[in-house]
Chains A and B, each alone.
Chain A
Amino acid sequence: MLYTVALASFLACSVEFTEAFTIVMAVGTVRGFRPAMKGTVLAVLALALLVAILGIAVLKYVPLDWLKGVIGGLLLLFGLKWVRKAILRFAGTVSTHDEAQIYERETSQLKSEEITDFQASATAFNGVFLEGLEVVVIVLTMGSAAHQMPSAIFGALAGLILVLILGIAVRGPLTRVPENVMKFVVGVMLTTFGTFWAGEALGVKWPGADLALVGLVVIWLLLSEGLVVQMKRRQERRVA
């Protein structure tokens, strides 16, 4: 078990499960949990089918060396996207993610439209499928790039179980999950792994081998912190 992969997968997937849970909860509250669960189960089945088809096709037709490079590259793009968003949120340029606000917006929209059971299932399906797609990408890229699929799956399952337990206990959106901080931590971890694995697959040699991962984490943390401070100062100057 590689704990760094399990932790990154756990944090990233918990964020996605929390977001999916909010949508299912909103649909369930407005229209009942039967159509909400129907949409959820269908989305999970669709994702399983997608993973099976894509997984078989990719493993059969794409050479392993290419696969490592491509997966590392995707991980880097995914991580950079999350880090960028987190920096902009902490700097105050973009509004922070608020689960309570999203829940309110979803429920009021569903109430105003007077949706049928089919539409309720479709809403739950869309939410779970799209958030689930991110979970699939996280688990597949991290698991295969590090050759630690069990660690990535373990992290994702732990996240799912935790979100379900908390969600059932709270019976509402999980507003206290520190999603913005989690997304920042995960963004830094994904960017670090992506930089390292993609580089390695493309022939780069990292000083200190695996220890270089620690150095990369420090670089991305310092850069992010520096950019947040710089953006905040710039905004203060604008206001003054």
Chain B
Amino acid sequence: MKVLQEIYGLFVEDPLLAVMGLVALAAGALVAHLGLRLIGGLIEVAVIVVGLAWSVRKAAH
């Protein structure tokens, strides 16, 4: 169990940021599969930018 916790800790420090990262990938993939493959990348990056900025500002409070 401790090993699993350590592995989780390797990738996740702020669960909300991790969720935003996954949402970014899902949103990018969804848009890409609708045929807008270039826009998909843009949306992926935009969601990550928002997630990182939000996570950092939240931690600083």
Give the interface of A toward B (CB within 8 A): 69, 72-74, 76-78, 80-81, 83-85, 87-88, 91, 93-94, 130, 133-134, 137, 191, 195, 198-199, 202-207, 212, 216, 219, 223, 227, 230-231, 234-235
Contacts of B24 in A (CB 8 A): 76
B residues adjacent to A (C-beta < 8 A): 6-7, 10-14, 17-18, 21-22, 24-25, 28-29, 32-33, 37-38, 40-41, 44-45, 48-49, 51-53, 55-57, 59-60
20 more A-B residue pairs beyond the given contacts A77-B18, A206-B41, with a C-beta to C-beta distance below 8 A: A69-B25, A72-B25, A76-B25, A77-B21, A80-B17, A80-B48, A81-B10, A84-B55, A87-B52, A87-B56, A198-B25, A199-B40, A203-B29, A203-B40, A204-B32, A204-B40, A205-B38, A207-B41, A227-B53, A230-B57
CA of A223 to CA of B49 in the docked complex: distance in angstroms? 7
Q: Given A204-B37, A205-B38, decide whether A195 and B11 contact each other with a Cβ distance below 8 A.
A: no
Report how far A202 CA is from B44 CA in the complex, Å: 11
Please report the number of residue pairs spanning A and B whose Cβ atoms sit closer than 8 angstroms.
110
A55 to chain B, nearest CB (A): 15
A206 to B43, CA, bound (A): 12
* Distance between A121 CB and nearest chain B CB, rounded to angstroms: 18
A32 to B52, CA, bound (A): 44
Nearest-Cβ distance from residue B49 to partner chain A, whole angstroms: 6
A80 to B51 Cα, complex, angstroms: 10
B52 with A195: CB separation less than 8 A: no
- Among B22, B37, B60, max chain A CB count under 10 A is at B60
Bound-state Cα–Cα, A133 to B60, Å: 29
Some 28 contacts from A to B, beta carbons below 8 A apart, are A76-B24, A76-B25, A77-B11, A77-B18, A77-B21, A77-B22, A78-B10, A80-B18, A80-B21, A80-B52, A81-B12, A84-B13, A84-B56, A88-B56, A93-B59, A94-B59, A130-B6, A133-B10, A134-B10, A191-B48, A199-B40, A202-B40, A204-B28, A204-B37, A219-B45, A223-B53, A227-B56, A230-B57
Cross-chain contact B11 with A81 (CB below 8 angstroms): yes
